[in-house]
Amino acid sequence: MNIEEILNTQLWGNSLESILIVAGIFVVVLIGLHLFRGFVLKRLEKLAKRTQTDIDDRILRILENISGIFYWFLAFYLTVKMLRTGGELDTVLNKIFVVLVVWEVIKITQSIVNYGLDKTTRRDVTMLNGIRIVVKIALWATGLLLILSNWGINISTLVASLGIGGIAIALAAQNILGDLFSSFSIYFDKPFRIGDYIVIAGGSGSADGVVKRIGLKTTRIETLQGDELVVPNKALTEAQIHNYKKMKRRRVDFTFGVVYGTSPEKLKKIPSIVTQIIQKQELSEPFRTHFREFGDFSLNFSVVYYMITSDYDDYLNTQHDINLKIKEAFEKEKIEMAFPTQTLYVKKDA
């Protein structure tokens, strides 16, 4: 038997020559894919490090994370398609190829989602992990349905069953799901962030404190007393929230009174004295000071100024210093501040 006869030998409906050619092509394709993965990607990685953006780094990382099994099977799948194969073998190869493609597409999509979440300004790890879990479940559920559909399995009944089961689960866990979707609303709308001081005004009362953690179901708030307040996210989205951390400046108003025996000349000096004291404070801006009313036992003045910071401690320190300076200035000017008094007049009969 000569070489030509050997090459024409039929195996599984293909000549030995065709099989050898396809085997050679398989080796070449496999080597080419490995060279692309080991040489070309490495060169591109060096170039990507010189750029300012990290998008190209992420794309290269996605390509590098494609498994070696996928490269090997891709080369095998492409070359085997050149041969005459039986229907069953084609079916098996197609099914395996779909599984591997879906696997890699899910991995790439997850990587893109993670990149987007890492680029967000919100650094709440719990919230980001929750979004990752939801996306992962959705991707794998979609991928499983695509695989089953490609394998010839009728998924309409399965989808209908999942729909009915999903409705039943949603009804049973509607409170939990409500808090879950509320957490996404808080994440995207950003009414407050971790570290913000907020006041919650709701139907069952009010609460205030510093936001410590925003979870998938609840938000943890540390109150001024030091205890931890756990609030369902749904309640937060339905309540009125005052966020003092977002306040650009604070309006402050206070009153004081001087005795009725104060002369008109000294009463005229008081607005100027108070305004100068407020102007000398580093974080305050005077607005107005007026002789407001004749009180029951004092001549009352109203003062309004603005703090150029929203920090509560800065406000208290500034007000403390203003009060001391007013007291010192009034003692220097011999202006007597009022306190609750009553004057009793006794009439004697002649």
Q: Name the phi and psi angles at 291, rounded to 5.
A: -75, 105
Percent of the chain with pLDDT over 70: 75
CB atoms within 10 A of CB 211: 22
Q: What is the reported pLDDT for 282?
A: 93
Q: Rounded to whole angstroms, what are the CA distances from 273 to 22, 303, 325, 333?
A: 98, 12, 10, 10
What 3-state class would DSSP assign to 199? Answer: strand
Q: What is the reported pLDDT for 169?
A: 54
Percent of the chain with pLDDT over 90: 23
Q: Nearest CA to 63 among 83, 88, 33, 86?
A: 33
Query: In this predicted structure, which of 147-151, 223-227, 268-272 has the lowest mean pLDDT?
Result: 147-151
Express each pLDDT in 172-200 by its tens digit.
455 666 777 777 778 777 888 888 888 88
Encoding tokens for residue 350? 């002649």
- Contact (CB, 8 A) for 37 and 44: no
State which H helix or E strand residue 32 sits in: helix 16-35
Q: Nearest CA to 282 among 312, 317, 254, 252?
A: 317
Q: Rounded to whole angstroms, what are the CA distances from 77 to 85, 91, 104, 311?
A: 12, 12, 16, 66
pTM: 0.49
- Say how far apart CA 319 and CA 141 lie, in whole Å: 60
CA dihedral of 329, 334, 340, 345, whole degrees rounded to 10: -170
Q: Quick one: average pLDDT of 49-71? A: 73
Query: In this predicted structure, which of 228-232, 241-245, 342-346 has the lowest mean pLDDT?
Result: 342-346
What 3-state class would DSSP assign to 58? Answer: helix
On the question of pLDDT at 267 being above 90, the answer is yes
Going by C-beta distance under 8 Å and a sequence separation of 6 or more, which residues neighbour residue 136?
A: 110
- Domains of the chain (ranges, CATH numbers): 3-85 (no CATH), 182-246 (2.30.30.60), 250-332 (3.30.70.100)
- Contact (CB, 8 A) for 199 and 206: yes
Higher-pLDDT residue of 161, 230: 230
User: What is the DSSP secondary structure assignment for residue 246, as one 8-state letter?
Assistant: G
- Say how far apart CA 55 and CA 160 lie, in whole Å: 40
Higher-pLDDT residue of 9, 268: 268
- Say how far apart CA 190 and CA 141 lie, in whole Å: 30
Going by C-beta distance under 8 Å and a sequence separation of 6 or more, which residues neighbour residue 201?
A: 239, 240, 241, 242
Encoding tokens for residue 346? 């006794």
Express each pLDDT in 142-162 by its tens digit.
888 888 877 777 766 666 656
On the question of pLDDT at 122 being above 70, the answer is no
Express each pLDDT in 61-87 by its tens digit.
777 777 777 777 777 777 777 666 666
